[in-house]
Amino acid sequence: MALRIYAYEKCDTCRKALRFLKEHGVAHEVVPIREQPPTEQELRTMLKHVGGLRRLFNTSGLDYKALGLSQKLPAMSEAEAIELLAGNGNLIKRPFVLGKDWGTTGFKEEEWAARLG
């Protein structure tokens, strides 16, 4: 299975991640995160990989701030947070990458190199 990477074309971090994948010959499928956010099941899978709801959120994004999520998130249930994320790709930390047995949010070249070679 190729990697599935949810990305936003105007996001510099996403562009760096996509360039890394291309340079390293890693097969991948790009999905536009704003138009087609990850499913609730994909979000639950990612939650197991990253270990915390906050790590799924784009905490520096305008939507996150406009919705006052820094105050609301601690009181939200996992189900509420997942539903919110699945309905608004702008809220999701990107790039959002799912592989066969792993997943991560954001791009740290050293981590990706260790995982993907």
* CATH code, 102: 3.40.30.10
> Would you state the pLDDT for residue 1?
53
pTM for this structure?
0.92
Total domains in the chain come to: 1
> Residues 54-81: what's their mean pLDDT?
95
> Would you state the pLDDT for residue 2?
77
User: What gap in Å lies between CA 7 and CA 92, rounded to an integer?
Assistant: 10
Range of the domain at 42: 3-116
Torsion angles phi and psi, residue 17, rounded to 5: -65, -45
User: What gap in Å lies between CA 79 and CA 62, rounded to an integer?
Assistant: 22
For residue 69 the two structure tokens come to 């999520």
